[in-house]
């Protein structure tokens, strides 16, 4: 039985429709969940275990405009046969409609490889995002390309679609604009591959590759303006953080391998994907970043939205942690940074509203 690499993700702290924050983490036998007892905290419930037997230690999380949360992962399901038990790989998802409430049953989306069990075992970790119509799920297929499956506005799933690409690594990332237009990034051996919708809910089309040698499992795609998705990744050689800030027009499909688009180095080093959040700091629209620094500590930085060349000053804080950090705005509009400590406990730091800039208060152990 093949098990995918436990690629860290950043989008695991979300604010629900009632204003309460919820944190999610895959764990043995399911998903651990913490929920604020009231909007803005500081008390939390949890961790409570959402029991999902066979779920691998990875979770992609997406949220729609109504606040519904979609949890997507890979499950190994035991199937009896004449030769004894065997395991089948399937992508599964569940929906949480309200913070702190039970999820729906976990439903299977299969894999792009149908009944071919050996090829299904070779898929990568899925990536979930919501557009103007419904949920999308993307995955690296056994051949090193990308496949996707999507819901329509009625909630009906279409078939798996081959989106092409080659030499794709683990760690797809996707983001959606305020009106529900999706962009997808896939790190590959010599390039960063991209797809985008020209219209909310429309088809995803290839756009020009970015020459790079990205590290697997290091990319993030997130909205940094109402009409803009910005992509981040780390270079494999030195773990420096790169960003693709320009909103590049789509290429002709036959010219999708053109490489006249370049990323910008942000100079900082660390590990894993960087968490990204839009926030207003001192009256200015800013992009807030959080990463696992080379020291193993959380580090935060901010810059004016759209000005990736402004230069970053990273402030390290807290204690060593595992995985990747997460960012969210709480019910009072404060920036919240969350990490999972090496002891498995959730740790949270909130912005001090009385101080200018991105000043964080003391870390709380949940």
* pLDDT per residue as tens, the chain (366 positions): 444 556 789 999 999 999 999 999 998 779 999 999 999 999 999 999 999 999 998 999 999 999 999 999 999 988 776 666 778 999 999 999 999 999 999 999 999 999 899 999 999 999 999 999 999 999 999 999 999 999 998 999 999 999 999 999 999 999 999 999 999 999 999 999 999 999 999 999 999 899 999 999 999 999 999 999 999 999 999 999 999 975 544 444 444 444 456 788 888 889 999 999 999 999 999 999 999 999 999 999 999 988 877 778 999 999 999 999 999 999 999 999 999 999 999 999 999 987 888 999 999 999
Cα–Cα distance measured from residue 282 to residue 353, given in angstroms and rounded to the nearest whole number: 10
Helix (H, G, I), strand (E, B) or coil at 253: helix
Q: Which two tokens stand for residue 26?
A: 């895959």
* Torsions phi, psi for 347 (to 5 deg): -130, 135
Domain boundaries, the chain: 13-269, 270-366
Tokens 């992509």 belong to which residue? Answer: 231
Distances (CA, A) of 200 to 12, 130, 132, 174: 24, 10, 5, 14
Longest dimension (CA), the chain: 67
Nearest partner of 186 among 220, 223, 162, judged by Cα: 220
- CATH (residue range 13-269): 2.120.10.10
Rounded CA gap, 11 and 297, in Å? Answer: 18
pLDDT of residue 5: 57
Rounded (to 5) percent helix, strand, coil in the chain: 0, 50, 50
Strand partners of residue 34: 23
C-beta neighbour count of 254 within 10 angstroms: 8
Q: Can you read off the two tokens belonging to residue 319?
A: 């204690």
Give CA torsion, residues 275, 277, 283, 284, to 10 deg. Answer: 80
- Residue 271 corresponds to which tokens in the numbers above? 């590990």
Q: Long-range CB contacts (< 8 A, 24+ apart) of 84-88?
A: 86/117, 87/1, 87/54, 88/117, 88/120
Q: How far apart are the first and last CA of the chain?
A: 35
CB 288 within 8 A of CB 322: no
Q: Is there a contact between 134 and 155 (Cβ–Cβ < 8 Å)?
A: yes
């Amino acid at each position: 039985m093949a098990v995918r690499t436990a690629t860290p993700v950043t989008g695991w702290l979300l604010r629900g429709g009632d204003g309460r924050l919820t944190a999610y983490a895959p764990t043995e036998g399911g998903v651990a969940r913490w929920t604020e007892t009231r909007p803005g905290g500081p008390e939390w419930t949890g961790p409570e275990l959402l029991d999902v037997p066979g779920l691998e230690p990875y979770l992609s999380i997406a949220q729609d405009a109504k606040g519904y949360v979609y949890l997507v992962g890979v499950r190994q399901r035991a199937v009896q046969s004449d030769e004894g038990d065997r395991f089948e790989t399937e992508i599964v998802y569940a929906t949480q409609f309200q913070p702190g409430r039970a999820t729906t049953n976990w439903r299977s989306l299969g894999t792009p490889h149908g009944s071919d069990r050996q090829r299904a075992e070779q898929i990568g970790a899925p990536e979930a995002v919501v557009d103007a119509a419904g949920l999308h799920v993307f995955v690296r297929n056994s051949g090193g390309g990308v496949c996707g499956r999507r819901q329509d506005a009625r909630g009906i799933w279409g078939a798996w679609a081959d989106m092409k690409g080659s030499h794709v690594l683990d760690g797809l990332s996707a983001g959606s604009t305020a009106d529900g237009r999706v962009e997808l990034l896939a790190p590959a051996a010599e390039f960063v591959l991209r797809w985008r919708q020209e219209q909310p809910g429309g088809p995803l089309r290839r756009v020009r590759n970015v020459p790079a040698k990205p590290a697997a499992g290091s990319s993030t795609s997130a909205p940094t303006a109402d009409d803009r998705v910005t992509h981040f990744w780390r270079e494999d050689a030195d773990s420096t953080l790169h960003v693709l800030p320009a909103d590049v027009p789509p290429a002709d499909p036959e010219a999708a391998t053109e490489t006249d688009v370049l990323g910008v180095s942000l100079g900082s080093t660390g590990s894993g994907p960087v968490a990204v959040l839009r926030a207003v700091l001192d009256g200015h629209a800013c992009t807030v970043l959080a990463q696992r620094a080379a020291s193993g500590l959380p580090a935060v930085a901010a810059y004016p939205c759209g000005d990736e060349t402004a230069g970053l000053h990273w402030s390290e804080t807290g204690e060593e942690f595992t995985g990747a950090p997460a960012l969210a705005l709480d019910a009072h509009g404060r920036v919240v940074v969350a990490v999972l400590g090496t002891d498995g406990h959730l740790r949270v730091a909130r912005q001090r509203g009385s101080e200018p800039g991105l000043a964080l208060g003391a870390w709380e152990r949940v």
